[in-house]
Amino acid sequence: MLSNVRSFLPLSLFLGSLLTVFGSEETVATEPVYKLQDYVVVATRTPLSLDRVSPSVSYVSSTEMEFWQDTQLTDVLQRESGMTVIQSGAKGGQTSLFNRGTESNHTAFFIDGRRLNSGFGNQFDLENLQVSGLQSVQVLKGAASVQYGSSNIGGGIDLRTRSGFYSNGLEGSVQGEIGSNDSIAGGLGLSYGEDNWAISVNANSQTTDNERENDQYEAHNQLHRAEIRVSDRLQLEWLSFFTKTDKGLIGSRFSPKLEDKQETTSWMISPGLRWSTDRCQVHAFYARSLHDLESLNLRGSYDANYNFRGTHPAMGEIEVETDELNLQVDFESSEGLLLTTGLLYRKDDAKNNNVTYDPLEPVVAYANGFEQFGIFGQAIWEATDLLELRGGTRYDSFSDFDEKMTSSVEVIYNLGDTGCSLFAKLGTAYAPPAAIDIAYDNAAAETPLQPEESVSYEVGLRQVALEQRLSHSWVFFRNEIDQLLIYDNLTKDSFNEESAKTQGFEYQLDYALDSQTDLFFGYTYLHAFGEDRLLRRPRHTLYFSARYRPVKNLSLGITGYGHIDRKDTDPETFAVAQADDYFVANFVADWAVTEQWSLYARVENLFDKFYEPAAGYPALGQAGYLGARYRF
């Protein structure tokens, strides 16, 4: 904790000086918390204003992410109602996302509509996804296979990058940050736009020792986007990114591992084009991506009679290459009716240099390719000024398991001058087996694997009142999931067998209290169960945040979340047990010194709470950070 104290002392002095120096500055008015100028794409793959999407859809702007000093996608999702983010330990630790209680492989991740490479286990490396260079993070909760195909039982999350066309000539920013546990971070962003072409480049790096031995984390990221307007109708585009991380794998505090480590490399390159007329738009792209994981683990070896043969090193390398072709056509057939159709071809090549766990057993390599073809259709009809109807259907075929048909229907009704809107949706979705499931399917002839499937129901209400200073919403949801994949350690076989249900409701409220203060409160009730309660899903989750501007160029904020009533596996006895409740708060401050310079600070785990999101894996204690940002 000594490093925490050292970093927290200058932070306290920094905040105290701000309040002293700027206590006499005048305040400024704020915009309403509910802004209609932002557009959401994730809900239907077509741009919709926020008043046309259900409360199951969220839009998090770059301005909001910058204020809360988000660096990783997990920082953003921790504030989202219905989302449970479980990180195994400190920064860089393996992270699970339970979207309305569904599994981690039930929510797909995209960048500008391109599916991110999910690796061997279909887990998307959530702990390594950065938000630098993004215009927004768009979140869809509930069945989304009609729009996006595979692995969308829980929903989808689209990372939307910032176009250089938003720039006025050359624009850029440079920032640096230091903090507890020898943390250092820095980033550079450049964008340039002309009438017919634009480019944006972002790069950032961070390194930290965390608190435990062999728990260090280092990450380097780049994001590039370029666009050329060939004519009034045709535009070419390029998107690419590169990520490299190194992580010590300390493991549980009950069985620490001082030698284990892993290195992860991910990249994507994606050219595309857009063609448009007054009534028709076409978007096509090709994306090639790689996810490579190299690891060193010390593993115990046992003979056939379970006699211990000692601990030995095991080197592993897992590589997944993906090629994707995607076509989407939007056609406005008449006033108020938008028709969308699209095609998808995807090929994954997965390799694992050794699927044998025991380090003294002969090496068994695995390599296989998987193909998918999909086609979908969707209609959005604004029947009246108050009523909107949406529906769609999709067909997907696979090289290694049965085809799937999915569909959805949605109704949105505006209650006029009351400021209320009603929403209802019914949808089906699926999640195919991952490469890891097929690799460990040792009885494929007797138990052929099939996609997991679900039926999703949701109904909700949203009201905007007090001249748009207040927005609040309710959503009731239920997911019925069948054909869940499990792995039997005794037979060493993967197969479809189990079913599960997740149901509950979400409430959230945004309120601009006055010209200086914005408040947010969220609550999620979740009942997630199969034969027993699903692990690590809290029955009650609380969210809150408050932003206060005491003077024109100073903003202060506090945010927090709490997980109450949850089950987990005891890391010592391996029995299911009641896990401890916890509530965690973070504090941020941002001071705009000039139009170009700003200083910022934050305290994570403000009250120095000891807690374990995953049993046996303690999160960081109180940690302070100081940073500076320059814009030009």
Residue 586 burial class via C-beta count within 10 angstroms: exposed 0-12, middle 13-18, buried 19 and up: buried
Encode 557-619 in three state secondary structure. EEEEEEEECEEEECCCCCCEEEECCEEEEEEEEEEECCCCEEEEEEEECCCCCCCCCECCECC
CB atoms within 10 A of CB 13: 10
pLDDT recorded at residue 37: 52
> Cβ distance 558 to 584 under 8 Å?
no
Q: pLDDT of 125-170, one tens digit each?
A: 899 999 999 999 999 999 999 999 999 999 999 999 999 999 989 9
User: What fold is seen in the domain 2-631?
Assistant: Maltoporin; Chain A (2.40.170)
Whole-structure pTM over 0.85, yes or no? yes
C-alpha 464/C-alpha 419 separation (Å) is 5
Q: Where are the domains of the chain?
A: 2-631
CA angle (146, 151, 157) in 5-degree steps: 80
> Cβ distance 153 to 456 under 8 Å?
yes
C-alpha 104/C-alpha 534 separation (Å) is 12
C-alpha 511/C-alpha 34 separation (Å) is 9
Which residues are within 8 A (CB) of 219 and not within 5 positions of it... i.e. 6 or more apart? 92, 128, 130, 205, 206, 207, 243, 244, 245, 246
Which single residue is written with the structure tokens 């029955």?
A: 539
C-alpha 493/C-alpha 441 separation (Å) is 5
In this prediction, the residues of the chain whose per-residue pLDDT falls under 70 are 1-37
pLDDT recorded at residue 20: 39
C-alpha 279/C-alpha 335 separation (Å) is 10
Cα distances (Å, whole numbers) of residue 322 to 43, 261, 262, 289, 363: 25, 25, 21, 5, 25
> Cβ distance 440 to 492 under 8 Å?
yes
